[in-house]
Structure 1
Amino acid sequence: MRTRAITGLFFVIVLLSAMFLGQYVFAVFFIVLSICCLDEFYRIIADDAAKPSRPLGLLVGGVLFAAYAALRLDIFTAHYLGLIAPLIASVFITALYKKQEKPFAGIAYTLLGVLYVVLPFASFFTLGIMGGVYDYRLPLGFMLILWSNDTGAYLAGRRLGKHLLFERISPKKTWEGFAGGVLLALVTAMAIAHYFPVIAPWQWITIALIIAIFGTFGDLVESMLKRSQRVKDSGALLPGHGGLLDRFDGLLLAAPIVLAFLHTVLN
């Protein structure tokens, strides 16, 4: 428990520092983080029948995210995005030279990883530059709500949990825990709305509901992935916590939907 607490505190400090140190540190940190999570996904999903092209997939994901971030930060123009097309084509071409039972399954795993992991982190990165100028308040508020949802679900589920939420996928999650997560996420959102008036209070509350619902689904989806591949944790990088993907599974489905919501209401 002590190891878990120390690791968690250290990682939170690093994460907050990346947000507070400006747009370039923010971008680089989350590009690296997305690549590490993508690597964990590839290691989990690989099996005897089909293996993703891990080095190539990491290159595609990293270049795609970096090119998008550079474009949004006005480092270069959109013309350079055309360089990504040959990289994606190479995923299909390299499969010709591999002796796999199901080559297209390997191709699908490679590109699915980019879609499942890199796109959500790129969506989260976009929250920081929605107004055209970097502002840490939206991504920080997102993370605080996400952590509150996880904490509320854990505490309520541990003390009050009786009715299982999705026994086939996660035998420990309960409806009581889900309700506790929603409640604490809403309370946190109302507090954030007071200190971070970058958007309206009702929008923070809506974001809290999106994170609570789709963050839970994201957790269940990652549990489904690990259960199907018979692994307990996505990795061992964080002592006491498992892998990075385990810590950010709630972000994977929630971040793109939060971004879509904000784009809709703010435009």
Structure 2
Amino acid sequence: MSNLVQRTITGFFFVAVLVFCVSYNGYSLSALFFIISVLSLYEFYGLIKQGNYKPNIPLGMVVGVVVYLVFMLRNYSQITSSTISLVFPLLFIFFLVELFLKHQKPFENVAMSILGPVYAVLPFAIFTGLGFMHGMIYNYQLPLGFLILLWSNDTFAYLFGRQFGKHKLFERISPKKTWEGFFGGMLSAVAISQVLAHYFPTLSALNWAVVSLIIVCFGTLGDLVESMFKRSLDVKDSGTILPGHGGLLDRFDGLLVSAPFVYAYLIFLGV
């Protein structure tokens, strides 16, 4: 099977599962992204180990699961927002455990251990919160609209960059990205946001446009951050779980950075 066929088949089923779970109900969304979070966290620690760090993987996995579940309970109004603050003391357990492990670089190991749940779990938990902006009543429009805009930007940025790209966007980190691709993706995402405003009236046309701009800007930065992360470890893909596409961190790099900013904007609006 050729790589293109493999990528196409994997991409089709990947998108189909995401769209179904996001559209069906809040439980399917929460369950899917719980699985994605756990696998992404494990993938992250696997990469970190290649950089000769020694993260506390068992404790990191436990903390990651707790972080995700706490945010899920908040989505369903089972706990108050202030209760989420109880998660933060968990992060300091890494310091205490490292005291007894006698590693040569304890603080680097602690930092990488903590970075796992923060980078590979928390953004997914925040993303699922987009479906519960109105409390326990789940609304698929915001998370599905987010994904549509994210995918639209990626697709059209690639097409515009391939056809018209001449000026490098961030050559040191990602030599293939161009300013032409960036603005092509941006214009396309904004145009699609206006279509979304018609079918997904949860937000006004103006706010959908702003959300699309946030996704384009911070999604692109997220892609660059992931590239920087892989370059620092001298790896091409974050994993092999998605044949032809690499790992989960590769596929969700734009979401990891843009989701918290979109959520913050919607909180600011009082949605």
- Give the TM-score normalised by structure 2: 0.93
2:43 aligned partner, one-letter code: E
- Tell me, in whole angstroms, the C-alpha distance in 2 between the residues paired with 1:264 and 1:78: 16
- Tell me, in whole angstroms, the C-alpha distance in 2 between the residues paired with 1:81 and 1:221: 27
TM-superposition CA deviations, 1:94-126 (whole Å, max 9, x none): 212323221111111111121122221111111
Aligned counterpart, 2:177: 173
The reply to whether residue 185 of structure 1 matches residue 189 of structure 2 is: yes
**Residues 80 and 193 of structure 1: CA distance in aligned 2, closer, same or farther (over 3 Å):** closer
- Tell me, in whole angstroms, the C-alpha distance in 1 between the residues paired with 2:86 and 2:191: 45
Question: How large is the RMSD of aligned CA atoms in angstroms?
Answer: 1.8
- Tell me, in whole angstroms, the C-alpha distance in 1 between the residues paired with 2:221 and 2:94: 29
- Bigger CA drift: 178-187 or 38-47? 38-47
Three-state SS of the structure 1 residue aligned to 2:175 is strand
- Tell me, in whole angstroms, the C-alpha distance in 2 between the residues paired with 1:74 and 1:207: 25
Aligned counterpart, 2:98: 95
Residue 18 (structure 1) aligned to one of 16, 21, 24: 21
- Tell me, in whole angstroms, the C-alpha distance in 1 between the residues paired with 2:211 and 2:238: 27
Question: Any stretches of 5+ residues in structure 1 without a counterpart?
Answer: none
1:51 aligned partner, one-letter code: K
**Mapping of residues 133-144 of structure 1, within 5 Å:** 133-144=137-148
Aligned residues: 267
Instruction: Check whether the contact 2:23–2:144 (CA below 8 A) recurs between aligned residues.
Output: no
- Tell me, in whole angstroms, the C-alpha distance in 1 between the residues paired with 2:223 and 2:51: 26
- Tell me, in whole angstroms, the C-alpha distance in 1 between the residues paired with 2:151 and 2:85: 37
Three-state SS of the structure 2 residue aligned to 1:211 is helix
The reply to whether residue 71 of structure 1 matches residue 70 of structure 2 is: no
- Tell me, in whole angstroms, the C-alpha distance in 1 between the residues paired with 2:14 and 2:66: 25
Aligned counterpart, 2:152: 148
Aligned counterpart, 2:10: 7
The reply to whether residue 32 of structure 1 matches residue 28 of structure 2 is: no
Q: Percent identity?
A: 51
Instruction: Check whether the contact 2:238–2:246 (CA below 8 A) recurs between aligned residues.
Output: yes
The reply to whether residue 116 of structure 1 matches residue 96 of structure 2 is: no
The reply to whether residue 55 of structure 1 matches residue 58 of structure 2 is: yes
Runs of 4+ in structure 1 off by over 6 angstroms are 77-80
Instruction: Check whether the contact 1:19–1:140 (CA below 8 A) recurs between aligned residues.
Output: yes
Aligned counterpart, 2:211: 207
Q: How much has 1:144 moved relative to structure 2?
A: 0.1
- Give the TM-score normalised by structure 1: 0.94
- Tell me, in whole angstroms, the C-alpha distance in 2 between the residues paired with 1:159 and 1:118: 36
- Tell me, in whole angstroms, the C-alpha distance in 1 between the residues paired with 2:174 and 2:10: 24
Q: How much has 1:266 moved relative to structure 2?
A: 2.4
Q: How much has 1:49 moved relative to structure 2?
A: 4.7
Residue 222 (structure 1) aligned to one of 217, 226, 231: 226
**Residues 233 and 48 of structure 1: CA distance in aligned 2, closer, same or farther (over 3 Å):** closer
Question: Any stretches of 5+ residues in structure 2 without a counterpart?
Answer: none
- Tell me, in whole angstroms, the C-alpha distance in 2 between the residues paired with 1:227 and 1:99: 29
**Residues 3 and 105 of structure 1: CA distance in aligned 2, closer, same or farther (over 3 Å):** same
Instruction: Check whether the contact 1:50–1:101 (CA below 8 A) recurs between aligned residues.
Output: no
